[in-house]
Structure 1
């Protein structure tokens, strides 16, 4: 019962917060939408991380490694495009500031690929891959 109450409160909080951002984003354009993802991840990252860990444990596919929720940056545009949970040894996970996303088409765009790379920066300039860390979940933020 307590778990359902916590999850319900999180959903209501996220819905209310994203509703406010959606109204602002509509008036200010896509720049605020992109920046809004960073705000949401900053505010709710720990709660999202706990939610994902409990979800994965419930289904028997949890991990003993460290996890963290960070924003996803589009390497092409430099903007925030979502959020991701990263997983790995604690020391390496602590270094991750964002996940870089690189997209490309192959074979006349018959295939579309998205590479997700845990990085040590919140911008696409001067970023470095954090070795030993992977992406365990993608989080969509709806505006």
Structure 2
């Protein structure tokens, strides 16, 4: 693993922890500076640990008898509306299509008032929420939340 990436991720996590402690009475929104820093830290963590997360998920599914013969990869999740990284997801499918997948686009909405919360997870070919294409033939096999 690249020492520089680990150092940067550690510094970001430390700065987020300090910022959260100082602002413990205020919640972060992704529109605030703290939210932007938090999202950037998650993006670095996803890039740094994507291989290890992918191996862990593959081991977990194999251990429980639900593994797949398809290729897998962990990519960042982008939530529409703010264009920031929000977490990570494992995608699965044929190797050439998984290689084309750079992120998962998350669309959120409420159904039947607020009785149901719906999240659509769509594999896309770029790490931005603009000028992207859906990667057909790739599915989302796991969602990863990062505790901050």
Q: Confirm or deny that 1:125 pairs with 2:125.
A: no
Aligned pair in 2 of structure 1 residues 52, 77: CA closer, same or farther (>3 Å)?
A: same
TM-score, length of structure 1 as denominator length: 0.83
Provide the alpha-carbon RMSD of the alignment. 1.9
| Structure 1 residue 76, shift from structure 2 partner | 1.8
Give secondary structure in 1 for the equivalent of 2:86: strand
| Structure (1 or 2) with the greater helix fraction | 1
Gaps of 5+ in 1: 1-12
Partner of 2:16: 22
Q: Confirm or deny that 1:63 pairs with 2:57.
A: no
Query: Equivalents in 1 of 2:117, 2:104: separation in Å?
Result: 18
Give secondary structure in 2 for the equivalent of 1:41: helix
Give secondary structure in 2 for the equivalent of 1:29: helix
Query: Equivalents in 1 of 2:90, 2:46: separation in Å?
Result: 11
Query: Equivalents in 2 of 1:21, 1:51: separation in Å?
Result: 27
Query: Equivalents in 2 of 1:79, 1:120: separation in Å?
Result: 16
Partner of 2:94: 89
Partner of 1:4: none
Q: Confirm or deny that 1:136 pairs with 2:130.
A: no
Partner of 1:10: none
Query: Equivalents in 2 of 1:139, 1:103: separation in Å?
Result: 17
Query: Equivalents in 1 of 2:115, 2:56: separation in Å?
Result: 35
Give secondary structure in 1 for the equivalent of 2:132: coil
Query: Equivalents in 2 of 1:125, 1:40: separation in Å?
Result: 23
Give secondary structure in 1 for the equivalent of 2:49: helix
